[in-house]
Amino acid sequence: MSRAIHSGWFWTGVWAMMLFAHTAYMGAFAGEIDLVDVLLLGGAGIAVFMVALLAMRRGDAEPPTEAVDAGSLPTVLAAVGFAALLVGVEVGPWLLAMGAGVLVAGLAGLARELRGRA
């Protein structure tokens, strides 16, 4: 415990517990419990708890010293392609097709970038 209190996962977990606590006393004060209320707040608590568990498994490792990429064009392409794809649903097939093409190019570039780092 004394070591855990210095870790990121511990405080993420504490926050999940706080959300669970607020969900728990909802029953006492809400009268009739609304399922939507419980699902929203309790669901968020569960999601935070899962992240805390993942962070605990990873541990607070020392930050690695690694080469830092200066920039990433594929990331930009993927983001812009995704946005165009989405807005294309409204604007028309021409933007949708362009967006899909840019997104695929971006994702392919990202895969290459990340493979190169591995």
Report whether 94 contacts 118 (CB < 8 A).
no
CA distance 27 to 22: 10
CA distance 43 to 75: 31
Contacts of 77 (CB under 8 A, 6+ apart): 102, 103, 105, 106, 109
Any contact of residue 24 with another protein (CB under 8 A)? no
Any contact of residue 22 with another protein (CB under 8 A)? yes
What is the nearest approach in angstroms of another protein to the Cβ of residue 94?
15
Any contact of residue 48 with another protein (CB under 8 A)? yes
Site residues for another protein per CB under 8 A: 5-12, 14-15, 18-19, 21-23, 25-26, 29-34, 36-37, 40-41, 44, 47-48, 51, 55, 58, 60-63, 65, 68-73, 75-76, 78-80, 82-84, 86-87, 89-90, 110
